[in-house]
Amino acid sequence: MGILTEFKEFAVKGNMIDMAIGIIIGTAFNNVVQTLVKKVLLPPLSYLTDGINYEDKKWVLREANPDLTGDAAKAIEIGYGEFFQVSLDFLVIGFTVFLVVKGMNKLRNKSHDSKDKTVVTPKDIELLSDLKELMKEQNELLSKKS
């Protein structure tokens, strides 16, 4: 019964829903990035390099041999074009995540400034700020008495 209770707490606190939303958005974002790379970034690059299709580029180490059977009949190839495309996907995703995190950090830092009234300050930050001010006042009063 402990596991069910723990799972219920996990689900109710929103962790599971936050994870599900993140996975769904991440999957959709991956599709956007793949389309951006395949349909927007690679065609101009192909045009600039006289029509080279990077997705199909590979080094053939051994040609396919139709006289043989099984794995021996297959060609052995290094698909560097696909690696290039996946690396470009990674760079686009990495840069986008960097920009999102940078923006979120800027908003978080702004919300943690209790004196900035343009954004709502979280309650815990507000309380800590109030405590800090009260302690400062108390220290000033105590230093005047001595």
N- to C-terminal Cα separation, the chain: 60
Residue type, 40: V
Write the pLDDT tens digit of every residue in 46-103. 888 887 777 788 898 888 888 877 777 788 899 888 888 888 888 888 888 888 889 8
Residue 56: DSSP 8-state:
G
* pTM, rounded to two decimals: 0.55
Among the listed residues 83, 92, 78, the one whose alpha carbon sits nearest the alpha carbon of residue 35: 92
Residue 40: DSSP 8-state:
I
| Residue 112: pLDDT band with limits 50, 70, 90 | low
Size of the chain, expressed as the number of residues it contains: 146
